[in-house]
Amino acid sequence: MCLSNIKRFVALSILLNLSSCASSLIGENEDTSGAVSTSSDKTASTSLNKSELKNSSNADVDLTISVATTFSGVDPMADIKINAEIKSTYGKVAKLNKTKKYADAIRMLESVQLKYPQLSGPEYQKARIYFNQGKIDMALKSVDESLSNNGRNYYSLNLKGVILRELGRFEEARKIFFMAIETYPPYPNSHLNLGVLADIYLRDLPLALMQYREYMKLTLNQDKKVANWIIEIERRIKAGG
């Protein structure tokens, strides 16, 4: 791997981790089943559609391109509400995370779980904390528990894809990112993270290109780094990969 590719790999990894759910630790707009609806990361179907069952291919790409911009449904998280007490708790957890007082944050989240066991947000946020600490297996366990409480939580689906990627389970991660996109296509980070997975780990340039383009549409073409990645991939495809 040449120096330029190494630098790009590092940049991709940093953006992947930050964009997937980092800001969602703030805990704003948490729903009653606990899925954080800020910027990072059911009961929507958890079954895989035909494109998800296939190997990464141009057929998959064709089925996902522009799906967000043609989406006519509603945000599956939009109808879920939480009370003032839970919002306050998540705000406190956010402050603890910013100062890396993770043990205190975990304890506070566990207290919420005891009082509101139906929430998926506490386990989602715990998964993020474990992930940031490098406790990947614990992160996976928590995100799975989050999803068992709320199948519509596309933030948790997106996070699970990131965790599976970190574990080297790339094909599983691809399917999970497709599930996140199927659950709510307009969520940009699922497209970005699928693009990164396809670009760096699966070496599926057509899929990466389509997902980066979808991400750019959803973010109003404001991400200059991803814009440059698109240009580079277009050049690589034109040159035969």
pLDDT per residue as tens digits for the range 47-101: 223 232 233 333 233 333 345 556 778 898 887 778 899 999 999 999 999 999 9
- Note whether residue 153 is domain-resident: no
- Note whether residue 16 is domain-resident: yes
- Note whether residue 98 is domain-resident: no
Q: Which of 195, 183, 210 is nearest to 37 (CA)?
A: 183
Q: What is the mean pLDDT of residues 113-120?
A: 93
- Note whether residue 104 is domain-resident: no
Q: What's the CA gap between 3 and 87, in Å, rounded?
A: 45
Count: domains in the chain: 1
Instruction: Give the tokens for residue 189.
Output: 């980070």
| Structural domain span for residue 4 | 1-22+48-71+182-241
- Note whether residue 76 is domain-resident: no
- Note whether residue 108 is domain-resident: no
- Note whether residue 137 is domain-resident: no
Instruction: Give the tokens for residue 229.
Output: 């990645």
Q: Which of 147, 204, 144, 141 is nearest to 170 (CA)?
A: 204
- Note whether residue 225 is domain-resident: yes
Residue-level pLDDT at 154: 96
Q: What three-state secondary structure class fits 206?
A: helix
